């Protein structure tokens, strides 16, 4: 099995762009990534693109829509939706297309425009005998951040985590984001400002939960043979690309469900899919958490950042707060977490956020991340978090 190389990346600034369609944003990053790879649009052998639910039927076939805009070349196009784990799932699909020898170059596109506020449910149009649980949970009144808040309160009870820890995650990530010209939010917040922001689902405050954004990102993955032909330098290698789903007996109450195994009956860990995806990635790369120079994890909320440090194996249970307190997860620390500023600074654009992480890691490993550069970065892991237990992790090395 040959190596898979990140030959080119493209990123659109994230924010709200009412005058620009997701098709334009997607086309822009697609061409940006192809150009960055030193290729032409007509050289792309295959495409995978995020099936964007908020864009209706054409959004669900975003790859075809973008190809039609830029000029159809007849290449295979797969549109994939795995909620917030879509970007990682697209990477995995592209990776498999290359390692299988089917293609030498695959363009990976994520473009999305999100509704404001809590993510709503997509209406069910099928004639069904019962309402889906996703409709019932709204009648009960459980928005996505409520699921995270329920876990965070348990964490506070078990480990003595405080509201200040939650705020500190935002303070750190906003400082990172202030250094990133592509981020939506570039203001570095103080602890007092974060703690003064409105409570959304206690203990999680507005500034501790990522916004919903418009954003787009693209990557061109190529075989090592193609990379040599293109003269790609430095070679950023995809050392691992995993995809995992939840395990039976996981005590996490998953969006949009209403129940889970109780702690006493649990036969799988919290966020089983995320733990599994990270383990699979380490195994595939032949590396461990101790080898990583930095990490881009899914900071959908401050709870996520604390929990994923443990879920991804960087510390033991209940120890993430110590890493945070010691400054180890800040730029300049032993293990910078989300040097991009994370989803905290970009907001969620579900089809694109996993690819955003790959773009950031590629820039870091090329040494072109500017003011937020992690010194001497050679190896990094990314992980996303998808509703209903979807997860993907990628390890990039140079």
Partner 1 sequence: MKQTPVLEGAFVSDPEPALVGSRCRTCETVAFPASFTCPNPRCAQKDVVATPISRTGRLASWTTVHFPPPPPFVAPDPFEPITVVEVEFASEGIQVVGPLAGASAEGLRMGMAMETVVEPYYSDDSGEVIGWKFRPAEGDADG
Interface residue with partner 1 among 9, 146, 171, 352 (CB under 8 A) is 146
- The pair of structure tokens assigned to 261 is 């195994």
Nearer Cβ to partner 1 (196/199): 199
Nearer Cβ to partner 1 (204/338): 204
Interface residue with partner 1 among 60, 69, 75, 133 (CB under 8 A) is 133
Q: Is 140 in the site for partner 1 (CB under 8 A)?
A: yes
Residues 66-105 that bind partner 1 (CB under 8 A): none
Q: Is 122 in the site for partner 1 (CB under 8 A)?
A: no
- Whole-number Å distance between alpha carbons of 116 and 182: 20
- Whole-number Å distance between alpha carbons of 110 and 234: 24
- Whole-number Å distance between alpha carbons of 213 and 343: 9
Stretch that binds partner 1, among 21-29, 45-53, 134-142, 364-372 (CB under 8 A): 134-142
Interface residue with partner 1 among 183, 200, 217, 230 (CB under 8 A) is 200
Nearer Cβ to partner 1 (202/375): 202
- The pair of structure tokens assigned to 195 is 């703690």
Interface residue with partner 1 among 16, 20, 154, 366 (CB under 8 A) is 154
Strands 77-80 and 46-50, sheet pairing? parallel
Interface residue with partner 1 among 2, 120, 181, 286 (CB under 8 A) is 120
- Whole-number Å distance between alpha carbons of 131 and 269: 29
Nearer Cβ to partner 1 (180/307): 307
Q: Residue 156 CB, nearest distance to partner 1 (Å)?
A: 10
Residues in CB range of 330: below 8 A, 6 or more apart: 172, 175, 176, 336, 337
Residue 83: Cβ within 10 Å count: 18
Closest C-alpha to 390, from 158, 64, 50: 50
Output the furthest CA–CA distance in the chain (Å, rounded).
58
- Whole-number Å distance between alpha carbons of 139 and 289: 41
Nearer Cβ to partner 1 (60/206): 206
Nearer Cβ to partner 1 (131/327): 131
Q: Is 262 in the site for partner 1 (CB under 8 A)?
A: yes
Q: Is 263 in the site for partner 1 (CB under 8 A)?
A: yes
Q: Is 264 in the site for partner 1 (CB under 8 A)?
A: yes
Closest C-alpha to 380, from 249, 320, 292: 292
Q: Residue 246 CB, nearest distance to partner 1 (Å)?
A: 11
Interface residue with partner 1 among 131, 160, 181, 327 (CB under 8 A) is 131
Nearer Cβ to partner 1 (168/252): 252
Interface residue with partner 1 among 102, 196, 258, 326 (CB under 8 A) is 258
Stretch that binds partner 1, among 17-25, 141-149, 227-235, 332-340 (CB under 8 A): 141-149
Cis peptide before 289 (omega within 30 of 0): no
Nearer Cβ to partner 1 (233/262): 262
Residue count at the site for partner 1 (CB under 8 A)?
40
HSE, CB side, 13 Å, CA atoms: give it for residue 255: 20
Q: Is 25 in the site for partner 1 (CB under 8 A)?
A: no
DSSP string, 62-89: HHHHHHHHH------EEEE-BTBTHHHH
- Whole-number Å distance between alpha carbons of 218 and 193: 34
Per the DSSP assignment, residues forming a β-bridge with 47 are: 77, 107
Tokens 């209903």 correspond to 388
Residues within the interface to partner 1 (CB under 8 A)? 117-118, 120, 130-131, 133, 135-143, 146, 149-151, 153-154, 157, 198-204, 248, 251, 253, 258-265
């Amino acid at each position: 099995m040959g190596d898979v190389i990140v030959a080119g990346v493209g990123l659109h600034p994230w924010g709200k762009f009412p005058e620009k369609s997701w098709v334009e944003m997607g086309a822009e990053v697609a061409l940006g990534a192809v150009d960055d790879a030193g290729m032409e649009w007509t050289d792309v052998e295959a495409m995978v693109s995020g099936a964007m639910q908020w864009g209706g039927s054409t959004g669900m076939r975003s790859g075809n829509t973008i190809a039609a805009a830029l000029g159809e070349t007849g290449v295979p196009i797969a549109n994939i939706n795995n909620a917030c784990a879509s970007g990682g799932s697209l990477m995995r699909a592209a990776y498999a297309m290359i390692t299988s020898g089917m293609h030498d170059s695959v363009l990976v596109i994520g473009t999305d425009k999100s509704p404001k506020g809590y993510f709503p449910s997509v209406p069910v149009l099928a004639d069904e005998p019962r309402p889906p649980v996703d409709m019932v949970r709204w009648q009960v009144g459980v928005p996505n951040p409520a699921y995270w808040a329920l876990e965070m309160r348990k964490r506070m009870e078990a480990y003595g985590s405080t509201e200040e820890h939650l705020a500190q995650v935002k303070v750190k990530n906003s400082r990172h984001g202030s250094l990133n010209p592509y981020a939506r939010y570039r203001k570095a917040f103080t602890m007092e400002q974060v703690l003064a922001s409105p409570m959304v689902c206690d203990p999680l405050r507005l500034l501790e939960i990522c916004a919903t954004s418009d954003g787009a990102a693209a990557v061109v993955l190529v075989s090592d043979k193609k990379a040599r032909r293109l003269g790609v330098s430095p070679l950023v290698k995809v050392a691992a690309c995993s995809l995992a789903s939840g395990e039976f007996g996981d005590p996490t109450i998953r969006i949009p469900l209403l129940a889970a195994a109780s702690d006493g009956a649990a036969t799988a860990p919290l966020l089983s899919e995320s733990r599994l995806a990270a383990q699979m990635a380490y195994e595939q790369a032949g590396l461990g958490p101790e080898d990583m120079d930095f990490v881009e994890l899914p900071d959908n909320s401050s709870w996520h950042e604390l929990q994923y440090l443990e879920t991804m194996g960087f510390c033991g249970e209940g120890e993430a707060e110590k890493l945070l307190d010691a400054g180890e997860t800040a730029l300049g620390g032993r293990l910078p977490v989300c040097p991009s500023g994370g989803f905290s600074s970009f907001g969620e654009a579900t089809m694109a956020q996993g690819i955003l992480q790959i773009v950031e890691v590629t820039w870091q490993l090329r040494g072109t991340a500017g003011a937020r550069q992690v010194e001497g970065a050679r190896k990094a892991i990314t992980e996303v978090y998808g509703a209903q237990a979807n997860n993907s992790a990628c390890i990039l090395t140079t």
